[in-house]
């Protein structure tokens, strides 16, 4: 067994930093490892304009306790977007692309999109500017089972977008089904982010008898063992189109416990790379970790690969159960459990 592994410094292509006091507490956990992060724009006041993105970027960078940490922000798509500002924001690289949240699918998505056709003008601009569409791929309708939301979104919405905007680069975020994996694999100009929790949890870890484990509840919800196996295989063994995106999404435990269903999200930033390393080791594919964590993402986004290296040591450590700071208390994913890999400082 190796004692150390060295890989190019990773990037996290999907993180939630929130704002204010929460942001102060969580941002340095991502900055300790990653050189770049995509900060998701579903803040309490969503980031729909370029001046908000400029300020948000500065807020995260100033609180990250790291000098060489770059924040990339996609514009939150709404049906009433200021298209001139959007286009300028893309041209000036203030926006890395745009994030599509279907209306009311997850945290702070009430300004999200109800009718896909209404954002076609924005998608046209994205395509022309050669920027990326990031997609929360779930369709919500009363008659659609929570476990089928990703499949319905792909069949009824993503397929339409894919057909109409043939040159548009699209990321299916936090792929949660084998159906989603196959869709990404079989389509040009598509990539997918994969979270640690979708490689560790199934619905049995979320829905237990008549209750829900709030700390395992996220959107898209964890699916079946078959799905988990397909996701692991895609990340660890066939990983040309898939890259690291933790979807680390902190919520104060009081909010998590009070109304479980309205606060989906799993906070994994404290042990993110270590979780991925442990999973890749279980899959006997540690040699493929670097391509997933540090190469496929920049290649997809057409950005340079990082230059520095980072070292993981084969050393057991206990993930703390909670992060408590500044009147904020967050439950860590995998908190109270041991991991065999640790990032060397």
Catalytic residues: 247
264: partner contacted, choices ligand DOR, Zn ion, none (Cβ within 5-8 A by kind): ligand DOR
Binding segment toward Zn ion, per CB under 5 A, in 67-75, 86-94, 149-157, 244-252: 244-252
Count of positions on this chain that bind Zn ion (CB under 5 A): 2
CB of 90 or CB of 100, closer to Zn ion: 100
Nearer to ligand DOR, 42 or 193 (CB): 42
**Does the footprint of ligand DOR cover residue 330 (CB under 6 A)?**
no
Least distance to ligand DOR from the beta carbon of 260, Å?
12
Determine, following the binding rule CB under 5 A, whether residue 247 of this chain makes contact with Zn ion.
yes
For residue 85, is it left (φ>0), alpha (ψ between -120 and 50) or beta?
Answer: alpha
Task: Write out the binding residues for ligand DOR, residues 13-32 only, by CB under 6 A.
Answer: 16
The full DSSP string for 139-201 is ---TTS-GGGHHHHHIIIIIHHHHHH-TT-EEEE-S--SHHHHHHHHHSTTEEEEE-SGGGT-
Determine which residue in the list 264, 297, 298, 335 makes contact with ligand DOR, applying CB under 6 A.
Answer: 264
Tell me the three state secondary structure of residue 212: strand
Nearer to Zn ion (CB atom), residue 8 or residue 33? 33
Residue 42 engages ligand DOR in binding (rule: CB under 6 A):
yes
CB atoms within 10 A of CB 345: 6
227: number of Cβ within 10 Å: 22
Q: Are 96 and 74 in contact (CB under 8 A)?
A: yes
298 interface partner picked from Zn ion, ligand DOR, none, CB below 5 to 8 A per type: none
CA 239 to chain CA mean position, Å: 17
What span, in angstroms and rounded, lies between the C-alpha atoms of 277 and 286? 7
**Distance between CA atoms of residues 136 and 199, nearest Å:** 18
Encoded one letter per residue, x for contact with ligand DOR by CB under 6 A and - for no contact, window 82-111 reads: ------------------------xx----
- Concatenating the DSSP letter of every residue in 97-142 gives EEEE-BTTSSTT-TTSBS-GGGGHHHHHHHHHTT-EEEE------T
The CB-of-107 to Zn ion minimum distance in angstroms stands at: 8
Indicate the SS3 state at residue 24: helix
| 194 within 8 A of 231, measured Cβ to Cβ | yes
Rule CB under 6 A: say whether 132 interacts with ligand DOR.
Answer: no
- Asked if 206 is part of the footprint of ligand DOR (rule: CB under 6 A), the reply reads no
From 125, 219, 270, 279, residue interacting with ligand DOR (rule: CB under 6 A):
219
107 binds, among ligand DOR, Zn ion, none (CB under 5 to 8 A by kind): ligand DOR
Nearer residue to ligand DOR within complex by CB, 42 or 239: 42
Quick one: 249 or 291, whose CB is closer to ligand DOR?
249
The answer to whether residues 229 and 278 touch, using CB atoms and an 8 Å cutoff, is no
7 binding partner (options ligand DOR, Zn ion, none; Cβ < 5 to 8 Å by kind)? none
Rg (CA), the chain: 19
The residue whose two tokens read 């109409």 is 164
Q: What is the contact surface with ligand DOR in residues (CB under 6 A)?
A: 16, 42, 106-107, 136, 218-219, 249, 264-265
Q: What is the contact surface with Zn ion in residues (CB under 5 A)?
A: 40, 247
């Amino acid at each position: 067994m190796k004692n150390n592994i060295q890989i190019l410094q990773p990037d996290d292509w999907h993180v939630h930093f929130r704002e204010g006091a929460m942001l102060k507490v969580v941002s340095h956990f991502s900055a300790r490892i990653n050189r770049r992060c995509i900060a998701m724009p579903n803040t309490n006041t969503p980031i729909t304009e370029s001046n908000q993105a400029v300020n948000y970027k500065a807020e995260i960078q100033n609180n990250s306790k790291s000098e060489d940490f770059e924040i990339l922000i996609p514009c939150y798509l709404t049906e009433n977007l200021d298209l001139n500002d959007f286009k300028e924001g893309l041209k000036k690289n203030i926006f890395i692309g745009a994030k599509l949240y279907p209306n009311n699918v997850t945290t702070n998505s009430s300004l999200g999109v109800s009718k896909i056709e209404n954002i076609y003008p924005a998608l046209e601009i994205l395509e022309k500017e050669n920027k990326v569409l990031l997609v929360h791929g779930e369709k919500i309708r009363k008659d659609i089972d929570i476990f089928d939301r990703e499949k319905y979104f792909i069949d009824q919405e993503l397929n339409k977008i894919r057909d109409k905007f043939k040159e548009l680069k699209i990321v299916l975020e936090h792929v949660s089904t084998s159906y989603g994996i196959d869709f990404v694999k079989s389509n040009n100009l598509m990539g997918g982010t994969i979270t640690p929790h979708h490689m560790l949890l199934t619905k049995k870890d979320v829905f237990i008898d008549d209750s829900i484990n709030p700390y395992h509840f996220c959107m898209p919800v964890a699916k079946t063992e078959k799905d988990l196996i397909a996701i692991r295989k895609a990340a660890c063994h066939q990983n040309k189109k898939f890259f690291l995106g933790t979807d680390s999404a902190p919520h104060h435990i009081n909010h998590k416990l009070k109304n479980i269903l309205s606060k989906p999200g799993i906070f994994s930033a404290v042990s993110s790379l270590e979780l991925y390393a442990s999973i890749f080791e279980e899959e006997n594919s540690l040699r493929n970790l670097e391509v997933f964590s540090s190469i496929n993402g920049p290649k997809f986004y057409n950005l340079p690969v990082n230059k520095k290296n980072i070292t993981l040591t084969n050393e057991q450590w206990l993930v703390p159960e909670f992060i408590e700071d500044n009147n904020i208390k967050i439950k860590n994913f995998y908190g109270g459990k041991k991991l065999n890999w640790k990032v060397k400082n």
